[in-house]
Amino acid sequence: MALCREGAEAHSAKIVVDCDPGLTARTNPRLVVHTLVNILDNAVKYGLDGGRVDVVAKPDGDAMRITVADQGPGVPSRLHSRVLERFCRVDGVGRVKKGSGLGLAIVKHIAMAQYADIRMESDIGIGSKSILSPPRT
């Protein structure tokens, strides 16, 4: 979370973390940090200025569920399956941001390399959730 503090401050966003104590997962720590920084950066960048980003980590059966939720404009349902693909950009919703459309595709491939699941849920006008589910130890 410290790696995203500057971006959050630039958007006056508040990052709130709720993590079950002692929760562990079978992952590469550096890759998880890279993944979460990318997801969190997107949530701050595309969320509401002055909004809140919630990061919740809880056990979920044989996996850990890490959810990063923003209060941004959301992503149209027709793009939910594509948002993790290379070069997918969601234009016309919320703030216009520069980017290559590669960030979440990289996240998807990092997750796959660690036998983790990654998906996105979103509702227009409510916000988006990125959900990472690595296997638990």
Q: Are 128 and 43 in contact (CB under 8 A)?
A: yes
Residue 38 makes CB contacts below 8 A (sequence gap 6+) with 103, 104, 106, 107
| Nearest-angstrom CA–CA distance, 4 and 13 | 10
Higher pLDDT, 7 or 96: 7
- CATH code: domain of residue 33: 3.30.565.10
Task: Identify the pLDDT of residue 108.
Answer: 84
Task: Give the model's pLDDT for residue 137.
Answer: 80
Residue 76 half-sphere exposure, CB side, CA atoms within 13 Å? Answer: 9
Calpha distance 111→114 (Å, rounded): 5
* Domain total in the chain: 1
Rounded distance, CA 48 to CA 71, Å?
Answer: 6
Please state the pTM of the whole predicted model. 0.85
Kindly report which listed range (6-10, 42-46, 102-106, 129-133) carries the lowest average pLDDT score.
Answer: 102-106
Domain that holds residue 80: 2-133
pLDDT digits 0-9 by tens, 54-88: 999 999 999 999 999 999 888 887 776 766 665 55
**Region 27-47 average pLDDT:** 90
Q: Which residue has the tokens 């550096």?
A: 30
